[in-house]
Structure 1
Amino acid sequence: MGKYQLIATAAMGLESLVAKEVRALGYECEVENGKVIYTGDETAIARSNLWLRTADRVKIRVGEFKALTFDELFEKTKALPWEKFLPENAEFPVIGKSVKSTLFSVSDCQAIVKKAVVERLKKHYNRSTWFEENGAFFRIEVALLKDIATITIDTSGQGLHKRGYRVDQGEAPLKETLAAALVMLTNWKADHPFMDPFCGSGTIPIEAALIGQNIAPGFNREFASEGWDWIPEKIWDNARTEAEDLANYDQPLDILGTDIDHRMVKIAQENAFEAGLGDLIKFKQMQVRDISTPKEYGVIVGNPPYGERIGDKPEVEHMYKEMGQAFNKLDTWSIYILTSNEEFEQLYGKRATKKRKLFNGFIRTDLYQYWGKRPPRSFE
């Protein structure tokens, strides 16, 4: 088994959650802006892809070095052990980005890295000409930050938020990774009620159900690294068997998603069935002002409209006031609302116990947290 330096990339504000997940898998890690770095073998690659709920991708760091000239970038890239990773017929596009670096032309950096890898592999495979790229897929990235080039190979393929259960979605769907993070940032336990009053296409309730039954989020999809010949099929089989064994399908759940739009409720139901959770989650058409429940010590997680479009603002502000009035009666419930609206607390009518800055795509938002009364010990 090899040892690889792995990078789990994370959206801004979620690094500590990703690190917590990496440690839960048994790997020591370091946290940097937008990424969590750790060492692992082929099994770690498979398990990380299957289990990380809040990471965007899992990458292998092939090398990191200073590069002030294209020559330097070429030679140092060529010196890396590409034959360890890429077979003779590998398909390997190169993507790139450059921030605050002398080498600012991304297209030139990509072309140079591609050429350097080709030269290294031609020498290793004893080829005078290049060959068809009709084999396994390896996406290489060259990322320059303050003249330091980090060169990685992506093990995930499609981003980890692509769980594979979305049949359809609304206008502004929440990424599955952020939805999972919102659930994990609460005090919810699987034997307590859970509600999302703005469920849209059902992402938050579905992620809550996956967490509640400890189902690996990547269980129903494939990853780019499954096609790599140096990761034996048995490793993936074992990782999936472990995921199956750890799932708690008998855990009863009380999860409700509501939305004002009956079409979204139907889409949410279809997505839940696609995820294999259709019988576990209830969906209902309802306005937020009508929400009431005799149940106690539950958790509400909501991603309501933000009123970003000028015309929507008065309507959204009115809805926030109605939400505050409806939720005020749920004094044992903990409530978590994600919005970019800076006047949310005034409109809602109550100061948050705690606020956490998060990014929904490129929109800066706050997670407003209202903690309910602590349940008696008999209830916990």
Structure 2
Amino acid sequence: MAEIELIATATFGLEAVVAREVRELGYEPATVENGRVIFNADETGICRTNLWLRSADRVLVKMGQFPATTFDELFEKTKALPWPDWLPEDASFPVEGKSVRSKLFSVPDCQAIVKKAVVESMKSRYRRQWFAENGPRYTIEVALLKDVATLTIDTSGAGLHKRGYRKLNSAAPLKETLAAAMINLSFWRPDRVLVDPLCGSGTIPIEAALIALNRAPGLQRTFAAERWPRVGARLWQEARREAAELIRPRPGLQIQGTDADPEVLGLARYHARQAGVEEYIHWQQMPLAALQTKHRYGCIICNPPYGQRLADLRTVERLYREMGHVFRNLDSWSFYVLTAHHNFEKLFGRPADKKRKLYNGRIECTYYQFFGPRPPRRDIDTGAKTPAPVE
């Protein structure tokens, strides 16, 4: 199989997390830059990265990159790329685009030029003048940044945050990819207690259970490249079989999600059933003020309301003060809180030990990390096995 240049796209702030996940799969990142991790793999790598990457948004095939300041230059250099090596004769290939600080600023014109160039390339290979485009989907993107064009094909289809378990949505759901990143940026391990006391529809506890069980997040969904002849059904079957064999049951796993709202807890339970992790999570309707535990060490990871609307701001600020009061009683625990409120530390009553800028959708947030003392070391197996690196 040929070596392929792939791009794992990432929300700003999560590039290092995604790079670590790529590395754990056995692919060494060649470049880590804003919003993406570039690495080399083969066709099997398309299957494995789509199935296993927890914090990436998509996996793209990088077709080419070149300077382009005129439409003629964009057309000729796009046409020269090996599109027929990927696109079969019946391929459906819509073109998407974006342009930032480039002379070619008209995105619709750039899309039309790229579409025309790909068609011309296909004509040369397939010896025909018209293509029905009624076969597998290959979404092409032309991205222009400072007069440099990057051409890619999307292998994922729906974004990787769509695991397949969340059929119903709450008012402000946290993306699964961000929830997984929040967990991986914490000191939580499967042998420790994890509590989300404001769990909403359950994304953080569910993602924690998937991590603890070493269950590939993409096992319950399909991907655009599953219909691509170049990748082939056999490689997908092998990758899924590998992922299924690596699932590890964990009796005694202690993950808890609580919320005062019975309706969203119903959603959480439903999503946990859909994800196949219902038996590993304890759900309980409970106000934050009632939170207590017999466990000496543990982690709280949560995504409380932000108070984006002025009418909600006072309620949210009262909640943050209450969090500070309740969490103070858990003096040996670690806390991880994602919020867009700039005065969170003041309201919480304690400066964070570490802060990290993250984005929840388009909302700029801070991930506040408060570290408790390290638990006593125990001679135990603490967790998930990654797939064996590729040879």
Common fold: TM-score over 0.5 = yes
Q: Conserved in 1, the CA contact under 8 Å of 2:15 and 2:32? A: yes
Residue of structure 2 in register with 1:329 after alignment: 329
- Aligned-partner SS, 2:279: coil
Q: Tell me the amino acid that sits aligned with residue 198 of structure 1.
A: L
The aligned residue for residue 259 of structure 2 is 259
Displacement, 1:251? 4.8
Residue 101 of structure 2: aligned partner: 100
Q: In structure 1, what is the equivalent of residue 38 of structure 2?
A: 37
Which residue of 2 is the match for residue 287 of structure 1?
287
For the Cα contact (< 8 Å) 1:4–1:60, is it kept in 2? yes
Query: How far, CA to CA, are the matches of 1:12 and 1:205 in structure 2?
Result: 23
Deviation at residue 377 of structure 1 after TM alignment: 2.1
Please give the alpha-carbon distance, in whole angstroms, between the structure 2 residues aligned to 1:261 and 1:332: 28
CA distance in 1, matches of 2:265, 2:217: 22
Q: Given residue 160 of structure 2, which amino acid in structure 1 is its aligned partner?
A: L
Q: Which residue of 2 aligns with 1:203?
A: 203
Q: Match of 2:232, as an amino acid?
A: P
CA contact (8 A) 2:9 2:36 kept: yes
**Deviations 1:192-241, CA, capped at 9 Å, x for gaps:** 11111111111111000001111100011100000001112111111111
Retained in 2: the 8 A contact 1:199–1:259?
A: yes
Aligned residue runs from structure 1 range 296-315, under 5 A: 296-315=296-315
Aligned amino acid, residue 314 of structure 1: R
TM-score by structure 1 length? 0.98
> What amino acid is aligned across from residue 63 of structure 2 in structure 1?
V
The 5 Å alignment of 1:348-363 reads 348-363=348-363
Give % identity: 57
Q: Amino acid of the residue matched to residue 107 of structure 1?
A: P
CA–CA distance in structure 2, aligned partners of residues 301 and 100 of structure 1:
38
1:131-170 map, 5 Å: 131-170=131-170
- CA distance in 2 between counterparts of 1:274 and 1:319 reads 31
Letter in 2 for 1:116: A
SS in 2 for 1:190: coil
Matches within 5 A, 1:157-196: 157-196=157-196
1:245 lines up with 2:245 in the alignment: yes
**How far apart in 2 are the matches of 1:283 and 1:250?**
18
Q: Secondary structure at the match of 2:278?
A: coil
**Aligned partner letter, 1:111:** A
Gaps of 5+ in 2: 381-391
- Which amino acid counterpart does residue 64 of structure 2 have in structure 1? G
SS of 1:71's equivalent in the other structure is helix
Q: State the SS of the aligned residue for 1:377.
A: coil
Greater shift after overlay, 164-173 or 136-145?
Answer: 164-173
Q: Quick one: which amino acid aligns to residue 376 of structure 2?
A: P
Equivalence for 1:371? 371
Structure 1, unaligned runs of 5 or more: none
Distance in 2 of aligned mates of 1:378 and 1:269: 32
Distance 1:6 1:252 in 2: 39
Aligned 8 A contact 1:354 1:370 in 2 = yes
- Residue 83 of structure 1 aligns to which amino acid in structure 2? P
